[in-house]
A and B are shown apart, each in its own frame.
Chain A
Amino acid sequence: MTIKKEDVKYIASLAKLKFDENEIEKFTEQFNEIISYIEKLNELDTSNVEPLAHPFESNNVFRNDELKKSASTEEALKNSPSKTEEFFRVPKVINQP
């Protein structure tokens, strides 16, 4: 599997990141290095191995349906660069008919 420049551009756009041509070139190279390193794993026969969802062999970590104290509105909004007293404020998003 080889990563092309187009793949890097696409992945960047999905992550809403912008790079110049030099950076794209560099990342393409690095992506390919990483992929070829990981590809070593394909040498193993895993046909009879159950896929691992998590590195810890554990399951059913639950909490009971019990209320815990929430943060205050003031605290919740504290890190936001744009807000009112009650709301996070973002540029207009239109999806109404």
Chain B
Amino acid sequence: MRIKIDYKNSPLYSLYILHYTFYILHYTLITSYIRKVKFKIQGLKLLETSKYEAVIGLEVHAQLKTNTKIFCGCSTKFGSSPNSNVCPVCLGHPGSLPVLNKKVVEFTVLMGLATNCRINEKSIFARKNYFYPDLPKNYQISQYEEPICEHGFITIEKKDGSHKKIGITRIHMEEDAGKSIHDFGDYTMIDLNRTGTPLMEIVSEPDLRSSEEAYLYLTKLKQILTYLDICDGNMEEGSLRCDANISIRLKGEKKFGTKVEVKNMNSFRNVEKAIEKEIERQIDLIEDGKQIIQQTLLWNADLEDLFPMRTKEEAHDYRYFPDPDLMPVVVNEDWKIELEKSLPELPDEKRNRFIEEYKLPIYDADILTSSINLADYYEKILRVTNDYKSASNWVMTEVLKIVNEQKIEIKEFKITPENLGELINLINNKIISHKIAKDVFNEMLTSNKSPNEIVKEKNLTQISDSSELEKEIDKILDANPKDVQDYLSGKEKVIGFFVGQIMKATKGKANPQTVNELLKQKLDSKKTFNNV
């Protein structure tokens, strides 16, 4: 006997279906809920970041490129053996007296003029008092109430092409401290070679609103400093240092938030990263209903994070007072005018001239004038050739590619601008093709020969001689009858194949234009012949 079970009609099955339906419904509800919550969180985060604005001011210290220290005749040379560039003045021995290096004043005034500052006729030095082992006098000679330059600005250009003026509060002269070396067991070692190295402190207004603006401002300062040739601008080596004061506030708010000082950012990219990180940290704190504590944070480039400074945060009381050892500095109108006259062409001026005089695109002009040495290199090429755009193309692609790959300065680049100009002329005079020129360029990277010498030596002169080329063309056409037929039946694209074959046969020396013309002539003559 067979028992037939009609399970579809069993009550259990109904229960099962019911259960399953509920399950599906439940699942759908839950996932849609999760999605909604997720969306809400992302939305909030966007809202969070857009309702705040950052307020950033930068304090930049630039080591000046003088031969000697600011108040004594010791060398400022980097990398000397420890405590070898020191004397009673920079060691802070009692009874020794500082005498100001005139060049320091000149350099600082030049920077002031280049950044649209007012040059104060009279300025004085002050003592900033604090104890630290690398500060032998227990005070730093700086300028306080009457700095030499005030109320300037520079203009930055943002990615979207818009311009923004960033105010400069003041620029003043001061002396650097020595170096503390901490990884010596239970002691800290002090090297006073750097003590008394002239510094220029450039303080910005709190006009910067993002890490991008801070980066652009700093890059612009470096550009001006190096154009003036008064500072190396090397953040990694410490000849340019930057501290940032950062706070956030709701957009539209006029009052400043509590500011946090960020130090120890030793590259341009780190400045950008550290500021970004600090802005995020402050927004998160405020969003969580917490307070921002006024403090100093140090950037750790390896961990890409900020850490509180581990020293006692005493309220600083520097007790500034005029330094009785130093006379006031007076920059009268005559001296100012004399310095103004000695100002070199500044980055913006040079860039605009490049656009005007050499008819370069803005993009080219920006890159070529990004550093004074690159701009000089470019203009030296133009002493040999007047093909401005080719020269720009060669520098921006081939030259900078090698410079970046080898991580060298343009000054160390093997090919002289004169030789590069000669190479460009060889192309323009149809002596060599562009393709051969690249081979010659590569050859020049390893030899000291001029492009003319290389071309002669290797017999690279372009074949423009028709009869010689015709022979080659005939050979190729004879060897490829099928492709010739294709061409004659209207597939004119095969001409590219023929050009390629001829270039190969002549090792790239054939003048491509001549080849093209001759090919067309020959093939078209076959066409008429065929038709007849």
Q: Which residues of A contact B (CB under 8 A)?
A: 14, 16, 53-56, 58-73, 76-77, 82, 84, 86-97
Contact = CB atoms under 8 A, between A and B. Distances in A.
A54 B105 CA distance: 19
8 contacts: A54-B326, A60-B329, A63-B73, A64-B103, A70-B86, A71-B91, A90-B133, A92-B186
Given A65-B103, A90-B190, 11 more contacts: A64-B103, A65-B101, A70-B87, A82-B187, A86-B83, A88-B189, A89-B184, A90-B189, A93-B188, A94-B311, A95-B310
B160 to A, nearest CB: 35
Contacts of A65: 66-68, 101-103
Interface of B: 66-68, 72-75, 81-88, 91, 99-103, 105, 122, 124, 129, 131-133, 180-182, 184, 186-192, 264, 298-300, 307, 309-311, 317, 319, 322, 324, 326-330
Contacts of A92: 182, 186-188
Given A86-B82, A87-B83, A61 B68 contact: no
Contact of B182 (A61, A68, A96): A96
Contact of A68 (B74, B122, B129): B74
A72 B187 CA distance: 23
B74 A91 contact: no
A59 B327 contact: yes
Contact of B310 (A14, A68, A76, A97): A97
Contacts, number: 142
- In the A-B complex, list the 4 residue pairs whose CB atoms are closest, starting with the nearest: A68-B73, A87-B189, A62-B102, A88-B190
B124 A53 contact: yes
B71 to A, nearest CB: 9
A66 B309 contact: no
A64 B99 CA distance: 10
Contacts of B85: 70
B482 to A, nearest CB: 73
Given A53-B124, A76-B91, A93-B133, A88 B67 contact: no
Nearest to B64: A65
B99 A61 contact: yes
A16 B73 contact: no
A68 B71 CA distance: 12
Nearest to B104: A65
A70 B81 CA distance: 13
A3 B102 CA distance: 42
B330 A60 contact: yes
Contacts of A82: 187
Contacts of B84: 70, 72-73
Nearest to A79: B93
Contacts of B72: 68
A26 B187 CA distance: 38
Given A59-B330, A76-B86, A76-B91, A90 B187 contact: yes
B102 A84 contact: no
A97 B264 contact: yes
Given A62-B100, A70-B84, A97-B300, A90 B67 contact: no
Contact of B75 (A61, A67, A87): A67
Contacts of B188: 89-93
B192 A76 contact: yes
A91 to B, nearest CB: 7
Nearest to A64: B102
Given A67-B73, A76-B83, A59 B99 contact: no
A61 B73 contact: no
B133 A56 contact: no
A59 B329 contact: yes
Contacts of A91: 186-188
A84 B189 CA distance: 9
Contacts of A60: 327-330
Nearest to A85: B82
B371 to A, nearest CB: 25
Contacts of B132: 93
